[in-house]
Structure 1
Amino acid sequence: MELSPIVLVLIGLLLAAWTAAAAWLMLAASARARGAETARKASRRMARMIDEAPAIPLVVRTDGRIEGSERLAGWFGLDKLPQFLSELVGGQGKGLSQDQVITLTEHVRRAQKTAAPFRMALTVPGSQRSLAVRGALADPQVFPGGAALLWIFDFSESENELARLRADAARARGDFAALVGLIEAAPLPMWFRGPDARLKLVNGAYVRAVGGESAEAVVAGQVELIEAVEGLTAAQVAAQAAEQRQPVERVVATTIDGQRRSMRVSDLPLGDEGVAGYAVDIEETEEQARALRAFRDAQRQMLDQLGVGVAQFDADHRLGFANQPFRRTFSMRPGVGEGLEFERFMRESREAGRTPEVRDFPAWRKERIEWFSADDAIEENWPLGDGTHLRIVAQPMPDGSLVLIAEDRTEQLALAATRDTLLRTRTATFDSLFEALAVFAPDGHMQLWNRRFPSVWGIDPDEMDGHPTAEQLVALIAPNLDNPKQAQGIGEVVRGATLDRKQTGGRVALADGRTLEVAGVPLPDGNGLLTVLDITDSQMAEDALRQRNKALEAADEVKTRFLANMSYEFRTPLTSIGGFAELLESGAAGELTDQGREYVAAIIESVQRLTAQVENVLDLSQSEAGLLPISKQRIDLLPFVTKVVRDREAAIVDGGLSLDLRGGASAKISADERQLGRAIGQLLDNAISATPKGGKILVDLSRRKDGVRIVVSDNGSGMTRAELSRALDGLQSDVDGNLERRQGLGIPLTRQLVEAHGGTLDIVSRKGEGTTASIFIP
C-alpha cells in the first residue's frame, strides 16, 4: 500500500523524535552513571577520611544500638565493635569498666532527651590509651529518630605530654619551694634586687644581720646590709654588675650585732630580672689567716733560736726560708735571701768552704739536686776542711719541695771522745774500789765487773770472761756459801734490780766465816748493779750493839714504869690545889678580901697552866716511849674542828682577831677526839699568840683521795728558819734573842700526836709574813 507523503513525513518525524529521545535517554543515563560513580568515589574518600581522621564517630540509637568504625573497637581494646552500648564493658583487660559505661550511658540518654551536648574523658583499663568523648544529639537529616552522635578522640600522646607537663610543673613548684626554703634557711644573708637595683626579697639571715623586724619591713625600708665603700652604695655596685652583666665580688667590712665583721659580698646579675646577692662571713677565715701569718712568723722566730740549721726550698728549687743557724753554718751573705736557687746555693757554699772536698763537684751537686725527687729522707755526714763535721738531713716533701737540716756535730764528736775517756776512767775506778761490783743486763748476762768481785766470792777470774748469766754465777757461788741454798737469794737480788726495777739486798755467810752484804740497785739505763761488801768486822760490832740494845730495852721498861708513877704523882697534887682554891673562891672558908680573891684566881690560873704543861710533858714522854693511848673513832671533821675553835672564841675576841673556818661538811675521819683536838688546839693557840691585833687566822679543811688535810695559817710575826727549828724542839726565841721554853713542848707534842694517828705535820713560816701548819691524816 502506498503511503502518502504526509504519513511518511510523520513517520520520519516520529522516528527522528524516537531517535532523539533514545539519544537523550542514553546521554542522561551516562550522566547519571558518571554522577553515581563520582558519588561512590566521594563516599569512599569520605569514609577513608573518616577512618584516617583523629576522631571517630559513634552513633547511639535510642534503643542503645551503636554504629561505628571497627577501628574504634581497637581503641576500646575489643576484637570487634559490639552492637549495643552496654556491651562495651569488657573483662580481663578489654573494653571499658562498668562505671565508665554507666556514666557514658547517662550522658548519652541526657543528650537524646534534652539535646544537651556533653564531654568526658575515658581511660581504657589495662592500657595507656586516653580517649576524649564529645557527644550531642545527631542531625535528623543524618540520623533521624533521636540518635546521639559521639565523636571520640585519641589524645593519649597529649595526655602523656600533659601529665609530663603537670609533673614538671609540680616538680618545678617543689623545687622552687625548696629553693625558697633553702634560701630562707641559709645561714648567710641573701637578697634579690629588681632591675632598678632596689631590694625585693631578703632571707631571714639578712633580716637578723640588719636587726630588722621582718623581711617585709626590711624591703619596705630598703635597709642595706653593706655600707657605702668609696662613695658607692650596695645598690650602685649591683647596678654596675647588671650593666656589665658580670658578677662582682668584693670584701668589705660591716657591722653585725655591734661587731665589725669582714664579709665577702657577691652580686650576680640575672639577665633582665635583676641582681641576686649574698654575703659570706669571712671574719673567722681572716682571723685564721692572721693567726697563720703570726704562727709562721713565730715559727720562723723559733727556728732562729734553734741550734740546728733549717732551710726550705720550694718545688722550683728556690730558697723559701732559712733560719739564722743555717745561714751561719753555710756562711751565707747578708744580702742573700729568698729566691736563691739550689744550684747557686751549693756553688756559693763550696766557694765558702762549707761543702766536702770532692773530685767532681758538678756530678756531686747533680746527685744532691735529685734529693727533690727522692722517696725517703736522706742523711749524710759532711766533713769540712776546717775540722767541722756537719750532719745533713734532706727531707723531700709531697709538694716537690725540700727541707734541708744541717746540724753541727763537731762538739758531739768531741763529747763522744770524752765519753770514751770517761768509760776507760770508769773501768779503772771500778777496779780500784773496795767494794765488789758487777753490772747485769736485763737478760741476766754480766756486762761489767771489777777485779774484786771474783775474789770476794772465791771464784776463778777466768770464769768471768764468758760474761756468765745470773744463773751461772749462782752455780759458781753456791759451793762457797755456808748455806748453798742462799745462792738463790743472790739470783733474786739480780732479778729485782734488772727486771723488777727494785732495790733489794741481803746478807750471806761464806763457808770461810766471812759475812757479805749484797745489794741490787736498778740503773737508769735499764741495767742492774750488784754490790758486794765484806761486813765481817761490822757484823761483830753489830752483835755487841745488840747486847747493848737489850740493856737499853730494860732501861726503857724502867722509864715506862716511872712515867706511869709520875702521871699519878703530878696530877694528884695539882687536882688537890685546884680543888681547895675553888673552895676558897666559892667562900666555903669564909668571905675573902678583894686581894684574896685575886690570889685565889692567880692560883687557879697557874694550876690550869701547870696542869696543861704537865699533860703535855707526860703525853710527849709517853709518845716518845710509844705508850701514848690512842682510841680512834669515826668523827665528822667540820663539827669537831668547829668545837675546838669555839673553845678559843674568847681568846680570839680578846686578841682582836678574825678567824675564817672553811671546809666541806662531808669529810669524816677516824681519830682520837681528845688527842687530835689537843693537836689542833696547840696550833690554834700558837697562831692566836703570834698574831697581832687585827690579824687573820685561816682554818681550812679539805678532803683528799688518800685522807684529809687540816691547815692552820696566820699572818702574824712568823719565824725564821732557825726559830722554826728551835720551835720544833720546844724552844722559842724571846724578844732579846734569848732562848726560852714557850708553853712547854706544844709543837713537838702536836707532831707526836699527829704521827700517833699515822699522819704528818708540816710547818712553813716566814719572818713578818706568818706561819702555815698543815696536818695530813690518812
Structure 2
Amino acid sequence: MLTSPVFAQADQLTNSQLLATTPYAIAVGAVLFGAATTFLAIMQRQASQRAARSANIQVMELSAALDEKENILNGMSEITVIWRDPAATPSIVGPVRQVIETHISDQMVLDFESWLTAQSAIEVKFKLADLLAQGTEFEFGANGSADQRFRVCGKLVAGSPVLRIARRIAEEETPYVLPSASKSQLDIETCARLFDKLNHPAWVRDVRGKLVKVNQAYFELLGIPQENRTGTIPELFDSAALLRLREVGQVEGSHSVTEQHQKFGTLDVTKFKLINGTAGYAVQGLASNEEKNDPRASFLTAAINELRTPVAVFDGSAQLTHYNKSFADFWELDTNWLDTHPNEKAILDRLRTQGHLPLEPDYKKWRSTHLSSYGLKKTREDMWHLPSGQVLNVIASPAPNARGVIYVYHNVTEKLALESRYNALIHVQEETLNSLREAVAVFGTDGRLKLHNTQLSGIWKVPLNLLNKQTHISDIVEMCDRSLPKDGREIWADLKSFIIDISPERSNKTGRISRADGRLIDYAVVRLPDGQTLVTFVDVTESAAYERVLKERNEALETADKLKDAFVQNVSYEFRSPLTNIIGFADLLTAGEAGQLNEKQKSYADYIRASSATLVLLIDNILDVTTIDAGIAELNTEVLDVAELVEKAAAGVVATLQVSQDDVPVNLSISVSKNLPTFVADGARIVQVLYNLLSNAVRYSEPGSKVSLDVTERAGRILFVVEDEGEGIPEDMISSIFDRFEGRAVAGRQRGAGLGLSIVKTFAHMHGGTVSIEQREPKGTRVIVNLPAEQVSQGAAE
C-alpha cells in the first residue's frame, strides 16, 4: 500500500507545501527575533538612564554634604593647617581672624613671631620641624603676643601633617612652662635654622662653648658689614659674662638673666640647653631682673615692639615699664620722657592737656574709673571716642602674677565706619529687593538660601518666618509640597537639580512654569561668578492673559483690514464699468449723436461729464491708496517730456471746470522752464500728482482768481510749484494737511475726501523727492514738489 500511486502523490504534495512555507517561517522568526532584541535594547537603555539620573542626584547630594561639612569646619573656632604635599604650600582652614585677633592675613598664620611671644614662637617652630621631618606629634599651650592663650596640636592624619590652633578658655589655662631641651630633642642644626628667623641677636654653641652659628641680627648688633661676616665669629660678651652664662646654660630648661653690656647697655639674655650644645638670644632694654627671673616678662618688650598696635605695660604701682613705638607715635609722647617710667596718672593728665583723651564732663571721675584696672581679675574693654574723630577699643588685661596692667589700644575707627557702611548697604539691599516685583533667591554652593526677598514667600505660598540663611533647598521642596500639594514638589525638584548642578559646563536657564492652580510663573536661573546661583520668579498670569487678548484682537484687526482692502478694491473696480458707460453716453449726448441738445440739456450733460470725471479721480485715488497699503505700488520709470506731462494734467483740470455756463473758470497759468534736465520718472504718477495739486487749488479758489503752475530746475532737481489765491490753510492744519482724510473747509464749498494731497506726498517720496506747503501773502497757498531729475525709485513712503 505504501508503494501505491495514491500515497506517493500525497507524499509529493507534503514536500511541496513544506518548501513553499519555509521562507515565510524564516521571515516570521527573524521579525520576532528583531522585535525581542529591540525590546531588550530599549529596556537596557531605560535602565541606564535611570542609573545615570540616580548617580547624578547622588553626586549633587554628596557635593552639598561636602560643602556643608566644609562650612561647619570653617565655622569652628579653630585653625587647621594641612600639609598634603611637604613641598607645596599648606592649606589653611578655619576663621583665622576670629581665633587670632591680631592677625592680618591667612598666610601669616605660619609667621609665628607675628602673633606669638618669642619663646612660644620658637617652641612651635621646633616642634613643627620634628612633626614634618620625623612625624613626632605634640600638644601644648602657647602664649600670644596680645596676652592670648592658644592650644597648639600637631598630628599625622592619614599620613599628612596637620597643625591645629585654638583659643584656650579660662578654665583650661595653666601657667606656661617652656619644655626642657631633653624633651624637645633639639639639636644645633635645627636651632640654627630657626634662629635665622629671629629679629634679635641669637647664637648657638657646641658642648665646648664655641660659637658655631649666629644670625644676621647678631652681626648687625655688633655693626659688622656684610662683606666681613666670614671667618671667626666675634664674641658679644666678655669672659666674666660668658662664665655666668655658661653656668646658666648647663641647667635643664630655659632661663633668662640680665647682663650689663659696656657698649649696648642692658641685655636680657635667654639660654636653653640643646642635645649637643646650648643656644641663646639677647634683647636690648628690658627691665627684667634676676630676682623675678620671669621668662614671660623677659620677652615682653621684644614682642610688643613687633606690633603695630599701641601697647603699654604698667606695674603694680602704676609705673610704665614697657611700651612700643606705636604707643609713643599714636599718643605723640616723647620717648625720653616715657623712658623715665612715669606714672599712668601723669600720662593721662598729659594726654588730656594735649587734647587727646575723650571729652568727659567729669574728668576726675572718668580717670578714677579707668585706673580701677589695677584691681581687675579678667580682661576689660572700653570704647574711647577721641576728639580727633578716632575710636579706640582699649583692652585692659591684668599682667601675670599680679604685676600690673597691660593696655592694648585698638584703633577701630575704620572698622566701625566699614561696619556702618556695610549695614547701610545691607539695609538698602534688603529694601531694594523687597520693593521688586520679582521674587529673588540666591543659593550657595552648599544648596542653602543665602539671600531672598518677601516676594519669594508670596509666589510660592511659603511662610516667611521659615526662610532664612540656613534653609536648604531640600527644605523648600518640602515646604512647597505642603503649600502646593498638586505639583509643588515636582516643580522644585526640577529646579533643585539645576540649581545645585556642579557641572563646570552648566549655563543659565529661563522658562515658564504652568502651575496646577492656574498661575503662570516665569523663572530665570543665573550662575554668579562666586559659584552661587541666582533664581528669580515673576508671576505673569495677568500679563499673559492680557497678551493673549491683545494678540487675538490684533489678529482680528488684521483680518478686518484685509477684508476692508479687498472690499474697497473690488468695489472700486466695479464702479469703473458703470462710470465708463455714464461718461460715454454723456460724450455722445454732448456731441449731438442722439440729436441736438438745447442749452439746458447741454448744461446738464456737462454736469454729468464733470461729476463723472471727479468720481473717476476719486476711485483712482482709492485704488492707489489700496495698492500703497498693500505694498505693491511700483514705479514704471522712463524718460519724460515735462511739458507734455503738465499739459495732460492741465487738460484734466480744465475738463472739470466746465460745470455750467454761468460759472466763470479760474485763470490757469502754466509756465515750464526751457532748460530742464532729462527727467526720469513714472509719467502716470507725475500726471496724477500735478492733477491733484491743480484740482485742489481750483477747488478752493474763487471764480476768476489765478491758479499757476511753474516748473523750474535747481541744483539738478525739478521743482513743481502750484500757487492759488484762495483763503489759505489755517496754521493748525498745515502740519496735518498731507494726512489721509484731511482737507480744507471753505465757506460755500464742499470739503474734499482728503486723499489727493496724501497721494501727492506718497508718490513724491517714492520718487525720492519731497513736498512742502506754505501760505502766501496776503492770502493763498503755495505747494512745492521737489523731485530728483534722474533718481531711481525709493519705494513707498509712509
* TM-score of the superposed pair, with normalisation by structure 2: 0.31
Structure number with greater CO (CA < 8 Å, separation at least 6) is 2
Question: Which protein is bigger by CA-based radius of gyration?
Answer: 1
